[in-house]
Amino acid sequence: MKAWEENGYLTVELSGRIDSGNSAQVEKEMNELAEAHPGAKVVFDAENLEYISSAGLRVLLHVRKNNPGMKIINVRSDVYEVFEMTGFSQMIDIEKAFRRISIEGCEEIGRGANGAVYKLDKDTVVKVYFDPDAFDDIQNEREVARLALILGVPTAISYEIVRVGDGYGSVFELLNAESFARILATEPDKFEWCLDEFTKMLRIIHGTEVPDGKLPDIREMMKKRALLTSRDLPHAQAEKLNRLFEEIPYDNHMIHGDYHSKNLELAGDEVLLIDMDTLSVGNPIFELGFIYNAYVGFYDVYPDSVLDFQGYDYDTTIRFWKEFLPKYLETDDEDYIRSVEDKARVVGYTRLAGMLVAKGVLDDPKRRKEYDCWIAKLAESLERTDSLMLGHAFAKPDAASEIEVEASVAKLPEVLGFIDSHLEAAGCPLRATMQIDVAAEEIFVNIANYAYAPGTGMAKIRVEVGGDPLGVTITFIDSGIHYDPLAKEDPDVTLSAEERKIGGLGVFLVKNTMDDITYEYKDGQNILSLRKNF
C-alpha cells in the first residue's frame, strides 16, 4: 500500500479490490501507517480502487473513528455509487473522480476571459479553464447558467466536470455547434444574419431583470478600473472619470460581460449563449463598452491581432461594430450614435487601461504602447462625454408596460413607438392616437431639453390601458429639476402674433387634447400623467 505525508496530510493509495478476503490485512496496514504518522490527516486516493464490499466499508469506518477528518478522493463512478447507496457519502468527505479527456487535435470554437471552448465531437464541446484551480469557478458558472436559463436566456448547461491535463473542464451538449466567429470567417454572405441574431440575443440579455443578490454588480469592478486608470489623466479629467462611474445607479438588468461572436453558438437551428462565468448586472453601457473592446479597442495598436482572436479580418470586425450599434440603438441619428459610442469608448478604454495597471505589465514595451494609446483615446472621449447613462430600450416580449430611456430628443421615435404599440393592441381610434402622440411628444421633448440641462439623465414612460370609460394613462417620470408645467399660466391665444409671448403653447395643447393631466413632485421626481379616453 503506497503512502506519503506532505503538509500534514497522509495520502494512502487504494487499489484493486477490498473485500472479505483481504479486508483484515488492509485494515492492519492502514493502522500501521496511521501509527507511523501521528497527527497527520488521512486522505485515501481511490483512483485505482475497482471494487469495495461491505467488509471494506467496515474497514474504512474503523479508520474514520480514529481519524475524524478523513477524506476519500478520486472515487470512480461505480465505486461512488456503493458509497452513496450505503450512506457513506453523508458520513465521510468523499470526492468523485473526474473523467480525463484530451483536447489534442480539437477545434477551438470559442474563447473568453477565463477559458477556451473546444469541439470534442459533433454533439459536445468542452470549456477548458485557464486557471488550473478553477473547480469553484466551474461550479459558480454552472449555477449562473442555470439562473440565466430560468430567467429566459437561451444557454447551454454543463452536464459534466472533467479533468483536462492539470486543470478542469466543463462539458456541454451543443448539437452541430458552430460559433458566430467561424460563420463570419467562412460564410461572409451570412454577415447580416449574424448581426441580426447577435443584436436579438443582446436585447434578450439586457431585457432580463435579475433578483437582487444573484449576480455581481459590474459597477464595482469598473469603479476600481477607473481609479487605476485615472492616475495618468490630468487632474480634472481624472475627477470627471471617477465621477461618471460613481453617478451610474444600481441596475438589476443582466450583463453578459464578455459578449462577442465567439461566445454565440448556432447549435442546430438554435442560437445559444455560452461562457457564462462573467454574468453580472448593470447599465447596458457597460456591455457596449466591453463589446467595443472586442471589436475595436483591443486592436487599436495591433490591428492584425484580430485574426488570432476573432478569426476574421480587421475590416470585418470594424464593420460589425459600426453596423451593430445603430441596430442595437434602433436609430439612424448619427449624433446620438456618436454620443453613445463615446460613452462606450470611455467604459471600454477604462477597462483596458485599468486591466494593464492591475496586472502590473506596463514595463513591457508592447503593453506600454497599448496603454499610452488607450489613455489618449480615453481622454478624447471624456472631453465629449458628460454622462455614461444609457436607457433600457429593450425588453423581452412579455415585458411590463414601462420603459426607461435616456432623456434625449433622439429617443423620441422609440418612446412614441412604445406608446403606439400599446394603443394599437387596445384598439385605440386613429384620431385619439394622433392626439396622444402629439401630447406625448410635447412632454418628452420638454423633459429632454430642460429637465437635466446642461447634462443628461433618464426618463421613465409608463403606459396603462383600462378604466371606465376605456382609455390610456401615460406617465412620464424624471429626476431632473423640480418643474410643474401645469403651474404656468395659459397663453392668451386671442392675441395677435406680434403681441403673443414665445412659448407655452405645448402644454396648452396637451391640456386641450387630453381628458386629464396631473402633476406631482415626489421623492425627488417629477411625475406627470396624461389621460385620454377612447
Q: 136 or 101: which carries more pLDDT confidence? A: 101
Helices (H), 134-234: 135-150, 180-186, 191-206, 218-229
Q: Look at 80-94, 293-307, 328-342 and tell me which has the smallest mean pLDDT.
A: 80-94
Q: Per residue in 29-45, pLDDT tens?
A: 998 998 899 889 999 99
List CB contacts of 70: < 8 A, sequence separation 6 or more.
Answer: 41, 42, 43, 44, 60, 63, 64, 92, 93
Do residues 229 and 289 share a domain? yes
Q: Are residues 201 and 349 in the same domain?
A: yes
Grid cell of 139 as nine digits: 461550479
pLDDT on residue 494: 54
pTM of the complete model: 0.61
* Strand, coil or helix: 463: strand
Specify the pLDDT at position 286: 97
Contact 303, 240 (CB under 8 A): no
In terms of pLDDT, which residue wins out, 513 or 503?
Answer: 513
Q: 390 in a domain, yes or no?
A: no
The whole-angstrom separation of Cα 344 and Cα 259 is: 14
Kindly state whether residues 210 and 358 are assigned to the same domain. yes
35 assigned to some structural domain? yes
Q: Are residues 42 and 128 located together in one domain of the fold? A: no
CATH number at 520 reads 3.30.565.10
Q: 392 by DSSP, 3-state: which?
A: strand
Residue 394 lies inside a defined structural domain of this protein? no
Alpha-carbon gap, residue 47 to 80, rounded angstroms? 11
Q: What is the pLDDT of residues 176-219, one digit of tens each?
A: 778 899 999 999 999 999 999 999 999 999 989 888 889 999 99
Angle subtended at Cα 61 by Cα 55 and Cα 65, rounded to the nearest 5 degrees:
150
Question: Which CATH number fits the domain that encloses residue 148?
Answer: 3.30.200.20
Sheet holding 264-267, edge to edge: 177-179, 264-267, 270-273
CATH number of the domain encompassing residue 74: 3.30.750.24
Closest CA to 324 of 370, 273, 290, 288: 288
Q: Is the pLDDT of residue 399 over 60?
A: no
Q: Hey, what's the cell of 290? A: 466591453
pLDDT at 495: 45
CA-CA distance, 103 to 57, in Å (whole number)? 37
Residue 393 lies in a domain: no
CB 462 within 8 A of CB 401: yes
63 vs 83: CA distance, rounded Å: 15
Higher pLDDT, 364 or 395: 364
Given a contact cutoff of 8 angstroms between Cβ atoms, the answer to whether 233 and 375 are in contact is: yes
> Is residue 502 predicted with pLDDT exceeding 50?
no
The domain in which residue 123 lies consists of: 101-173
Max CA distance (Å), the chain: 114
Residues above pLDDT 70, as percent of the chain: 94
Q: What is the pLDDT of residues 264-314, one digit of tens each?
A: 989 888 899 988 889 999 999 999 999 999 999 999 999 999 998 888 999
**Quick one: which of 320, 18, 8, 91 has its CA closest to 184?**
320
Report the pLDDT value the prediction gives residue 394, as an integer from 0 to 100.
Answer: 46
Q: Is residue 178 part of a domain?
A: no
Residue 331 sits in the same domain as residue 462: no
373 and 228: one domain?
A: yes
pLDDT of residue 392: 56
Residue 391 pLDDT level (bands cut at 50, 70, 90): low
Which position has the higher pLDDT, 17 or 123? 17
Query: In the prediction, which pLDDT does 491 show?
Result: 65
Pair 377, 486 in one domain = no
CA 15 from centroid of its chain's CA atoms: 46
User: How large is the average pLDDT for residues 393-404?
Assistant: 56
Give pairs for 461-469: CB < 8 Å, separation 24+. 461/402, 461/403, 461/404, 461/405, 461/415, 461/418, 461/419, 462/401, 462/402, 463/401, 463/402, 463/418, 463/419, 463/422, 464/401, 465/401, 465/422, 465/423, 465/425, 465/426, 467/533, 469/533, 469/534
Task: Considering only residues 485 and 341, tell me which one the structure prediction assigns the higher pLDDT.
Answer: 341
User: Could you give the angle at the alpha carbon of 168 between the alpha carbons of 163 and 173, nearest 5°?
Assistant: 85
User: By the 8 A CB rule, do 324 and 196 touch?
Assistant: no
Grid coordinates 460563420 are at which residue? 183
C-alpha count within 13 angstroms, C-beta hemisphere, residue 274: 33
Which residues, in sequence order, are bridge partners of residue 516? Answer: 531
Find the angle CA(258)-CA(262)-CA(265) to the nearest 5 degrees.
110
Q: Which of 97, 114, 147 is the last residue of a domain?
A: 97
391 part of a folded domain: no
Residue 442 sits in the same domain as residue 492: yes
Measured in degrees and rounded to the nearest 5, phi and psi for residue 147 equal: -60, -45
pLDDT at 374: 97
For residues 248 and 350, what is the distance between their CA atoms, to the nearest angstrom? 15
Say whether both 29 and 114 belong to one domain.
no
Residues 6+ apart with CB under 8 A from 296: 317, 318, 321, 348
Residue 187's pLDDT is what?
Answer: 95
pLDDT of residue 492: 58
For residue 471, pLDDT beyond 60 = yes
d(C-alpha 203, C-alpha 205), whole Å? 5
Q: 72 phi and psi, to 5 degrees? A: -125, 125
Within-domain flag for 417: yes
Give a yes or no: residue 256 inside a domain: yes
Rounded to an integer, the average pLDDT of 7-18 is 91
Q: Which of 57, 59, 32, 42 is nearest to 6 (CA)?
A: 42
Which three cell numbers, joined as nine digits, stand for 206? 439586457
pLDDT tops 50 at residue 400? no
Check pLDDT > 50 for residue 489.
yes
Mean pLDDT of 410-421: 90
- 164, β-bridge pairs: 101, 167
Confidence of residue 175 (pLDDT cuts 50, 70, 90): low
pLDDT at site 322: 97
Residue 225: partners with Cβ closer than 8 Å, 6 or more residues away: 350, 351, 353, 354, 355, 358
Q: Output the domain CATH number for residue 352.
A: 3.90.1200.10
End-to-end Cα, the chain, rounded Å: 87
How large is the average pLDDT for residues 437-458? 91
> In total, how many domains does the chain have?
4
pLDDT band at 425 (very low <50, low <70, confident <90, very high): low
Three-state DSSP string of 334-377? HHHHHHHHHHHHHHHHHHHHHHHHHHCCCCCHHHHHHHHHHHHH
Joined together, the cell numbers standing for residue 280 give: 453580472
Same domain for 237 and 130, yes or no, is no
Q: Which is more confidently placed, 501 or 73?
A: 73
Domain finish residue from 173, 205, 233? 173
* Same-domain check for residues 235 and 302: yes
Average pLDDT, the chain: 87
pLDDT, residue 503, reads 45
| Single residue among 61, 77, 97 that ends a domain in this structure | 97
Of the candidates 145, 149, 108, the one whose C-alpha atom is nearest the C-alpha of residue 127 is: 108
Residue 78 sits at φ, ψ, to 5 deg, of -70, -35
The dihedral of CA 97, 103, 107, 113: what is its sign? positive
The reply to whether 326 and 413 lie within a common domain is: no
